[in-house]
Amino acid sequence: HLPGLQILCAKSGKVFCNYSYGWADEARQLALDQSVICRMYSTTKPIVYAIAAALVHEGKMALDDPVSKHVPEWRDTLVRVCVDNNAE
């Protein structure tokens, strides 16, 4: 039983993996495909926290770095604020 799962992987702006499995609407038997927009809410936070922790551990990033140092398009916020459990 798989309600729905989408996987998309990209590097340098190029998508190299894009798969959809299961149902967009199981009751109506509508298959999930790449045209369906799924609401992720906070499900990505643990993944971001784990990646940030690994980068800090490897010395590639510091919690007190501005995010814009690593993502130039980002607003002026510290990494520490983004990985705070209260961050939006």
Percentage above 70 pLDDT, the chain: 93
Give the Å distances, CA to CA, from 4 to 25, 40, 47, 54, 78. Answer: 9, 12, 19, 29, 34
Taking a C-beta distance cutoff of 8 angstroms, is the pair 26, 3 a contact? yes
Q: Does the pLDDT of residue 85 top 70, yes or no?
A: no
- Give the pLDDT band (50/70/90) at residue 44: confident
Cα distance between residue 75 and residue 6, in whole Å: 28
pTM above 0.85, yes or no: no
Taking a C-beta distance cutoff of 8 angstroms, is the pair 18, 34 a contact? yes
Cα distance between residue 20 and residue 47, in whole Å: 20
